[in-house]
Structure 1
């Protein structure tokens, strides 16, 4: 990502902030604010993702929205901290997903997807006879 791209993102965000300050008293402000935030996120993501990576992220959103949001947040954070040198490709997105999945498995939280079943070995079936 070049300095010109980052400057364009900053200018867009500054314009959004100025627009919010000027139109702060309108009704339905909460919905407008959420919509503007979504548009800002989409704008940033369209600038930092290749079309193939954006498509994959969209498919991830269909399956698990929370995972897609986590990935988007991570990408936006990387873009804002100027750690992205170019647009993120689909392969780079796969690597990021793999790294995030490994992080969750190592105790990063999020429920993971691992289920542990403890079976009782000394279970007695005699209680069923009392019902007869």
Structure 2
């Protein structure tokens, strides 16, 4: 092999390594996307097994309106399924009960309680000193 051939091989190899280096970041992102897709597929598979078609339809409609609430309910259902607490498929009525429980918890968590301290500095005190 001549020096020109070796130089051409080096350039090709360098270009290949640079492409792989550029793709390694894309590969990590792609790997993360693949992982998210697998998790999403696993979630939908579990939910398909534990929900009746009517309940799955209602959960889908809820997702259109408020995705966070649907995700909370899905997480609860998956947790119950994995712990073996579900003995039968979840019906639409059971799903409604669970939605009510989640909405009550979020209402309690969203309440803002304001506590004002008495005494201390007050803007009205400045007016009295005039």
TM-score scaled by length of structure 2: 0.62
Q: Distance in 1 between matches of 2:106 and 2:35?
A: 31
1:38 equivalent in structure 2: 40
Unaligned runs of 5+ in 2: 1-25, 113-130
After the TM superposition, list the runs of 4 or more consecutive aligned residues in structure 1 that deviate by more than 6 angstroms.
none
Distance 1:35 1:104 in 2: 28
Number of residues paired by the alignment?
A: 85
Post-superposition Cα deviations, 1:29-54, rounded to whole Å, max 9, x if no partner, equal 01000000000000000000000000
* Partner residue, 1:8: none
CA offsets 1:29-87 (integer angstroms, 9 cap, x no match): 01000000000000000000000000000000000001000000000000001000000
Following the alignment from structure 1 to structure 2, what is the Cα–Cα distance between the partners of residues 29 and 104?
34
| Structure with larger RCO (C-alpha < 8 A, sep 6+) | 1
Map of 1:78 onto structure 2: 80
CA contact (8 A) 2:50 2:81 kept: yes
Pairing 1:93–2:95 present: yes
In 2, the alpha carbon distance for the partners of 1:61 and 1:52 equals 14
User: 2:51 touches 2:91 (CA, 8 Å); kept in 1?
Assistant: yes
After superposition, residues 1-132 of structure 1 pair within 5 angstroms as: 27=27, 28-105=30-107, 107=108, 109=109, 111=110
Larger Rg, first or second structure (1 or 2) = 2
Q: Which string of whole-angstrom CA distances, capped at 9 and with x for unpartnered residues, describes residues 71-107 of structure 1?
A: 00000000001000000000000000111112223x3
**What is aligned with 1:15?**
none
More helix by share: 2
Output the CA distance in 2 between the equivalents of 1:74 and 1:44: 12
